[in-house]
Amino acid sequence: MIINIKDNGRILKNKDAITLPDLTVLTGENGSGKTQLLEYFRDYAGGHEDWDPSFTEVKITYPMTTDEGAPLTDIVFSFPGLRNYERDFYPENPLIDQIKNQWNVLMPIVRAYGIIAHKEFDDEKQELNDLNNAIIEFVKVLTVDSARFTPDNLKKADTHQLLQLKRLAHQASKSIEKLTFVDFLIFYSIPTDIFSSALDLLFHQFHLKQKYYIHLTGDVIPPWEVFNNILEEAKFNYRVEYTPSGNDEIPASIRFIDEGKGISNTTLDTLSSGEKTIMALIFVLYHASNNGKFPEVILFDEPDAHLHPSLTQLFISVIQEVLVNVQKVKVILTTHSPSTIALAPAATIYRMDRILGYPIKEEKDKAVQNLSNGLASITTEEGNLGITYTVKNTEKSILFTEGITDKIILQIAWRKLHNDAEIPFLIQDCFCASFLSNLFVNGKQKYEGIFEIEPDKIMIALFDFDNAGYNSWNKKGFSNLIEDDPRKCLTKSNGEKGYQMLLPVPNIEEIESQVIKNGNETFKEKSLLTIESLFFNVPDFKDLYFSQDKLPGGGFSYQFNGDKRKFAMALEELDQSHFKEFIPLFDKICFIISTNP
C-alpha cells in the first residue's frame, strides 16, 4: 500500500508516496505520533481537496491507496484492546434487553392492529390513520375511568413502525396482529460490524429458526459449527459449546471449552483480557464469513494492549494469514510490545519518527532493544513464544541459529550448493547466542521446554566458534560428544533428540589459525570464527568486511567488521564455489537427521 501524509499542525509532516507492506507493524516512543497517524487515515479516508497554484483545478489526494494508486476509503479504526469505540469500556444494557424494549414499543401497535386487520386500504396514509384510531380504542377499553381518558397522552404509530411491522409480517408469513416477540427476535437484524460479539443472540436466532421456521435453515451450517471451524483454523484452543435455551425469549450463555487445559465452563466474560482480544479477532473473521465482506483497511491501535505474550504469535498469525494474505485487507497496527515486534516478520516493522513526522523502516533487533529499555534481547518468556509456535507447527527437524543473518546466509548457501532444492530442515533464528543457549539448556522444563513440547523432533543449535558461542555450546546438559573433529563441526547431544554444534573450521589458513591449536585441539572460548569468516577467501571480501589486528608475538587476527545484513545480501551474487566451506556443516546436519528414527 501507499500512504500520503499531510501536516496536521502537531507531529505529522507532509510526505507523499511512502510505500508500506500490506501488514505494517508500527512502533515508536510514546508521543511519536502513531495514534495521530491512524486517526488521520481514518478521518481523511475520503481524501483531501487541494487547489493547484492557479486555483483553477481541485485535486483529491487520498491518504491511503493501493500500490497501483486506487483509493482505499473503506477504513475501520480499532481503539486499544480491539475496541470499536472509545465508549466500549462503559457498560450498556445487554442487546437482548434493548431488543425487548423495542418490542415493548411495537407490541401495543401489533395488538391494536387486530381491530383493523379485516380492512383493505387505498394507501398507507389511510392505514396509518385507522391504526392510530384503533390504538385509541384499544387503550380506552383498558382504561378504568374512560370518562377521564384523553387520546392526547398517547403516542401515535408512525410510518416507520408500520413499515417495520409489515416487513416482519412478510418475513414470518403472518398477519401483523399475530406477530410475537419471538418472531421479532428471530428476524431482528443483529449488528454484525466486524467487532460485534453478539454470538449468544446469533446462535439463539438460528435455534429459533430451526424450531419455528425450519425451511429457512435446511442447507445452512449452524453458526456454532462455523465459529468452531474458524477457531480451529486460527489454532485457538477454545471451542464453543452451545446448548439451546429452554426459554424462547432468553438466549443461552455460550460456553467455551479447552480440553487440553481441562477447562469446560468458561464464558466470554470470564476469559482473560488477552483471550478476549484473540476472541475479538475471531469475531472479525466470523462476521466477515457471514456477510462476505471485509473492509479495505483495518487500523489497529495497540491491539495487544491487553494481550499476554503467550498469545502474541497466534494474534499476529491470524492477522497475517487470514486478514492480509487471504482476504487482502491492508493492516497497520501500532504496538509498544517487544514480543509483538520480535514475533512479527522483519519486513513489516516500521518506526514512527517524531522528528520527521512519518514512519520509516526499522530493524527488528533495534526495535526490540528500544522497547526493552536497551537490553540485548527480550525476556526468555517473550522470545520463547515464536520458538514454541515454530516447534509446534512444522513437521521438519529444526536448526536454530544465533541471529537472522545467520539464517539468511545458511539459506543462500544451501540453495547455491543444492541447485535450489528444498531445505530438508527448518531454520529458526534467535536473538543471540545467550538466548539460544538458554532455550536449549531449559529445553526439558516441564510444559514449556522445547524438548518437552516436541520430544520426538530433532532440534539442533548452531553456534559461532567464538567466546560467546563456545561457552554456550559447552554448558551442562549436552554431555555426549558425537563429533570431535572441529573441521566437521564439534557436536554434542543430550542423549535424545537435542544437538548443539559449532561452525566447522574452514580450510582457510588465517581463520584456521584462530581456532586450531594443534590437531583437533582448539583454543576453546578464545577461538575466533563467525559464520562470515567462511567467506574470508572470496576476492575483495577480506578488505571490505574484515579488520586486521596485530597479535602479541607477531601475526594477525581477522574479525568481521561489516554490516551483517548487507553482507548477507551480497552473497546472492557469488557462485557455488564460494560456499564449499558449508559442506561439512550441511553434511553433519543431514547425517543427524537421517540416523534418527
Q: How confident is the model at residue 106 (pLDDT cuts 50, 70, 90)?
A: very high
pLDDT of residue 430: 78
Among residues 95, 413, 515, 124, the alpha carbon closest in space to that of 268 is found at 95
The strand ranges marked E within 435-566 are: 459-463, 480-483, 491-493, 498-502, 516-518, 521-522, 546-550, 556-560
pLDDT at 525 exceeding the cut of 80: yes
d(CA 490, CA 135): 93
**In angstroms, what CA-CA distances link 138 with 165, 180, 242, 390?**
18, 18, 41, 69
pLDDT at 546 exceeding the cut of 80: yes
Looking at per-residue confidence, does 81 or 293 come out higher?
293
Minimum mean pLDDT range among 156-160, 450-454, 525-529: 450-454
The mean per-residue pLDDT over the stretch 365-377 comes to: 59
Residue 51's beta-bridge partner residues?
A: 58
pLDDT of residue 374: 38
From the centroid of its chain, how far is CA 569?
28
pLDDT at 379 exceeding the cut of 50: no
d(CA 97, CA 201): 11
Minimum mean pLDDT range among 297-311, 322-336, 352-366: 297-311
pLDDT of residue 501: 96
Q: What percent of the chain has pLDDT over 90?
A: 41
- Which DSSP helix (H) or strand (E) runs through 24? strand 23-27
Q: What are 371's three cell numbers?
A: 522497547
Helices and strands, number each (H, E), in the chain: 20, 24
pLDDT at 256 exceeding the cut of 90: no
From the centroid of its chain, how far is CA 366?
21
pLDDT at 350 exceeding the cut of 90: yes
3-state secondary structure 193-209: CCCCCCHHHHHHHHHHH
Q: How confident is the model at residue 91 (pLDDT cuts 50, 70, 90)?
A: very low
- Other Cβ atoms closer than 10 A to 515: 24
Can you tell me whether residue 124 is helix, strand or coil? Answer: helix
pLDDT at 227 exceeding the cut of 70: yes
pLDDT of residue 1: 96
Q: What percent of the chain has pLDDT over 70?
A: 87
Q: What are 311's three cell numbers?
A: 498469545
Can you list the alpha helix ranges (DSSP code H) found in 350-507?
364-371, 380-392, 404-417, 433-441, 450-453, 467-473
pLDDT at 565 exceeding the cut of 60: yes
d(CA 224, CA 202): 9
pLDDT at 87 exceeding the cut of 50: no
pLDDT at 83 exceeding the cut of 70: no
What is the torsional sign of CA 119, 125, 128, 132?
A: negative
Q: How confident is the model at residue 96 (pLDDT cuts 50, 70, 90)?
A: confident
pLDDT of residue 222: 87
**Which residues lie below 8 Å from residue 532, measured CB to CB, with a gap of 6+?**
409, 545, 560, 562, 564, 567
Q: What are 532's three cell numbers?
A: 562470515
Minimum mean pLDDT range among 54-68, 136-150, 197-211: 136-150
d(CA 34, CA 333): 9
267 and 258 Cβ atoms separated by less than 8 Å: no
d(CA 24, CA 193): 23
pLDDT of residue 182: 94
- Other Cβ atoms closer than 10 A to 16: 11
From the centroid of its chain, how far is CA 329?
12
- Other Cβ atoms closer than 10 A to 552: 5
Identify residue 105 by its one-letter amino acid code.
V
**In angstroms, what CA-CA distances link 65 with 19, 45, 49, 199?**
10, 10, 16, 34
Q: How confident is the model at residue 292 (pLDDT cuts 50, 70, 90)?
A: low
53 and 88 Cβ atoms separated by less than 8 Å: no
d(CA 399, CA 53): 60
Among residues 563, 495, 502, the alpha carbon closest in space to that of 530 is found at 502
Q: How confident is the model at residue 387 (pLDDT cuts 50, 70, 90)?
A: low
Predicted model pTM: 0.53
pLDDT of residue 351: 93
281 and 312 Cβ atoms separated by less than 8 Å: no
Looking at per-residue confidence, does 63 or 82 come out higher?
63
469 and 436 Cβ atoms separated by less than 8 Å: no
Q: How confident is the model at residue 382 (pLDDT cuts 50, 70, 90)?
A: very low
Using one digit for the tens of pLDDT, what is the confidence trace for 412-441? 999 999 987 889 999 988 767 877 888 888
Q: What are phi and psi of 3, to 5 degrees?
A: -120, 145
231 and 240 Cβ atoms separated by less than 8 Å: yes
- Greatest mean pLDDT among 45-54, 89-98, 439-448, 450-459: 450-459
Can you tell me whether residue 32 is helix, strand or coil? Answer: coil
- Which DSSP helix (H) or strand (E) runs through 59? strand 58-61
pLDDT of residue 92: 47
**In angstroms, what CA-CA distances link 193 with 240, 294, 367, 463?**
20, 10, 34, 50
Among residues 259, 220, 261, the alpha carbon closest in space to that of 239 is found at 259
Using one digit for the tens of pLDDT, what is the confidence trace for 5-55? 999 888 999 999 999 999 999 998 878 899 899 999 999 999 988 777 777
- Which DSSP helix (H) or strand (E) runs through 239? strand 239-241
d(CA 188, CA 286): 18
Q: How confident is the model at residue 444 (pLDDT cuts 50, 70, 90)?
A: confident
Indicate left, alpha or beta for 17 from its phi (over 0: left) and psi (-120 to 50: alpha): left
Q: Structural domains in the chain?
A: 2-84+294-371 (3.40.50.300), 95-186 (no CATH), 199-287 (no CATH), 380-594 (no CATH)
pLDDT of residue 290: 61
pLDDT at 530 exceeding the cut of 60: yes
Query: Which residue has cell 505529522?
Result: 12
Looking at per-residue confidence, does 366 or 299 come out higher?
299
Residues 216-227 as b or e (16 or more Cβ within 10 Å = b): eeeeeeebbebb
Q: What are 208's three cell numbers?
A: 429459533
d(CA 442, CA 490): 21
Minimum mean pLDDT range among 239-248, 253-262, 493-502, 558-567: 253-262
Residue 426's beta-bridge partner residues?
A: 398
d(CA 235, CA 282): 11
Among residues 200, 192, 188, 310, the alpha carbon closest in space to that of 245 is found at 200
Looking at per-residue confidence, does 384 or 361 come out higher?
361
Average pLDDT, the chain: 84
The mean per-residue pLDDT over the stretch 477-493 comes to: 93
532 and 571 Cβ atoms separated by less than 8 Å: no
19 and 2 Cβ atoms separated by less than 8 Å: yes
d(CA 276, CA 282): 10
461 and 501 Cβ atoms separated by less than 8 Å: yes
